């Protein structure tokens, strides 16, 4: 089976890393992420490859703009350790400022009607947009045996593009430069084609091919860039009955937007409610660190996960029972959020705060799991670990570290 090109590049840089002491290694993906070859098939609901349980994105299995909470009814119930395939629908092309009619929006960009997802059409027409966020969320999935105090191990086994196109958007008042862009472009006739009817910028982006690798192709073919799909939103329900905005990430995951958590990665999330109530959405085909314009190249994906609940003392990093923690073949990924408890007592947006939290989490990981004295761990992080901006546009900002596993080889 062909390994995605970005994974092969990683393996050329380093041998397979060691697992955390007491933790399972990141799994070998079971299928390609559809980023090589002539292009993705159109993966309509209930069609195409699926593994394990299957959860389609139907009006009764998705929410729009809000996340599940402790009172949400599960869309599926599975045993711990089970595999489930979940369809996700991108909000881009579905939103009100784009006409809330994906058939009209995408065919207006030259997409054939048969290439427009029927579940996207159903979401736009039949799902209330009753949350403050833009995201279409599939789930939740209850895991038997998951209890507060556990951590949920989310292994990303497969990611497939459902369509050969995506959208990158910049909306007024948002992005890294709110009040500057797209505001400065309003009224410039040579840029009028980039504005959608709602007055925001939406850049329709095709999927193309370059030397056998699938790439995003900007209008006019002015630039091509590699695709590296991942789910921007992976989370578990927070222990609240209040409406949960889909935009800011929290200590229960959600919209963490970490582009390293793609195919073959693992995310650990602390369980807050019985059953964990896992959900996913905000599918990305590609994203640069920071996601500065507001969105990535957003496009619907089909994801396959293994979901395992782990009790305290089980095979997972100790800090994963308290906060999100990621892992790839090559790296351990401590995560820092500027405001992990959500809207309580106001919301912090400072990258400085997110950076400090990421460094503290990295220090805790190295001391607890690798047995490093604190001064040596701090020195190592300064000398050898990259800390990257996950995103700056989701109210709560994020920084994540990349600790190389090969640095701790025997």
Mean pLDDT computed over 194-216? 94
Q: What string of H, E and C letters represents the secondary structure of 146-177?
A: CCECEEEEEEEEEEEECCCEEEEEECCCCCCC
Q: How many residues does the chain have?
A: 410
333 within some domain: no
Interatomic CA distance for residues 265 and 1, integer angstroms: 18
Mean pLDDT computed over 149-168? 98
| Among 14-28, 197-211, 341-355, the least confident range | 14-28
- 26 or 331, which is more confident: 331
CATH code of the domain containing 120? 2.60.120.580
- Report DSSP letters for 7-29, one per residue: HHHHHHHSPPPPPPTTSPPPPPP
| Among 40-44, 115-119, 252-256, 332-336, the least confident range | 40-44
Mean pLDDT computed over 371-380? 98
Tokens standing for 95?
Answer: 């939103």
Tokens standing for 161?
Answer: 């593009």
Mean pLDDT computed over 160-165? 98
Q: pLDDT band for position 104 (50/70/90)?
A: very high
- pLDDT tens digits for 173-184? 999 999 999 999
408 within some domain: no
Query: Chain-wide mean pLDDT for the chain?
Result: 91
Structural domain containing residue 157: 23-320
Mean pLDDT computed over 224-251? 97
pTM of the model: 0.90
205 within some domain: yes
167 within some domain: yes
Please report, for the chain, how many H helices and E strands are present, in that order: 5, 22
The total domain count for the chain is 1
349 within some domain: no
User: Which of these, 251, 249, 257, 255, lies nearest to 239 by C-alpha position?
Assistant: 251
- pLDDT tens digits for 85-102? 999 999 999 999 999 999
374 within some domain: no
């Amino acid at each position: 089976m062909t390994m995605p090109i970005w994974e092969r590049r990683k393996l050329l840089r380093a041998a397979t890393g060691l697992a955390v002491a007491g933790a399972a290694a990141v799994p070998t993906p079971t299928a390609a992420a559809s980023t090589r070859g002539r292009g993705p098939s159109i993966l309509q609901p209930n069609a195409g490859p699926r593994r394990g349980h299957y959860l389609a994105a139907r009006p009764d299995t998705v929410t729009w703009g809000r996340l599940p909470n402790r009172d949400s009814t599960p869309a599926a119930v599975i045993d711990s350790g089970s595999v489930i395939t979940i369809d996700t629908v991108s909000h881009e092309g579905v939103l009100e400022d784009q006409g809330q009619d994906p058939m009209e929006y995408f065919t207006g960009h030259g997409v054939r009607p048969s290439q427009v997802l029927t579940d996207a059409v159903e979401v736009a027409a039949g799902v209330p947009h009753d949350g403050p966020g833009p995201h279409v969320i599939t789930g939740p999935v209850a895991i038997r045996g998951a209890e507060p105090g556990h951590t949920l191990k989310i292994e990303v086994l497969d990611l497939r593009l459902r369509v050969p196109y995506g959208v990158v958007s910049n909306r007024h008042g948002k992005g890294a430069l709110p009040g500057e862009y797209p505001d400065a472009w309003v009224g410039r006739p040579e840029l009028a084609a980039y504005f959608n009817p709602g007055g925001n910028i939406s850049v329709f982006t095709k999927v193309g091919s370059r030397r056998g690798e699938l790439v995003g192709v900007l209008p006019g073919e002015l630039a091509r860039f590699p695709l590296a799909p991942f789910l921007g939103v992976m989370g578990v329900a927070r222990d609240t009955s209040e409406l949960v905005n889909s935009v800011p990430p929290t200590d229960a995951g959600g919209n963490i937007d970490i582009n390293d958590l793609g195919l073959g990665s693992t995310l650990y999330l602390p369980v807050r409610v019985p059953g964990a109530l896992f959900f996913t959405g905000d599918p990305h085909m590609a994203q640069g660190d920071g996601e500065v314009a507001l969105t990535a190249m957003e496009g619907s994906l089909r994801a396959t996960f293994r979901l395992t609940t782990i009790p305290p003392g089980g095979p997972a990093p100790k800090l994963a029972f308290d906060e999100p923690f990621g892992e790839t073949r090559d790296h351990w990924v401590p995560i820092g959020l500027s405001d992990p408890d959500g809207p309580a007592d106001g919301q912090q947006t400072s990258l400085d705060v997110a950076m400090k939290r990421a460094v503290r989490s990295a220090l805790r990981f190295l001391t607890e799991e690798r047995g490093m004295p604190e001064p040596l761990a701090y020195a190592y992080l300064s000398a050898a670990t990259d800390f990257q901006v996950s995103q700056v546009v989701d109210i709560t900002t994020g920084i994540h570290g990349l600790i190389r596993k090969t640095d701790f080889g025997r």
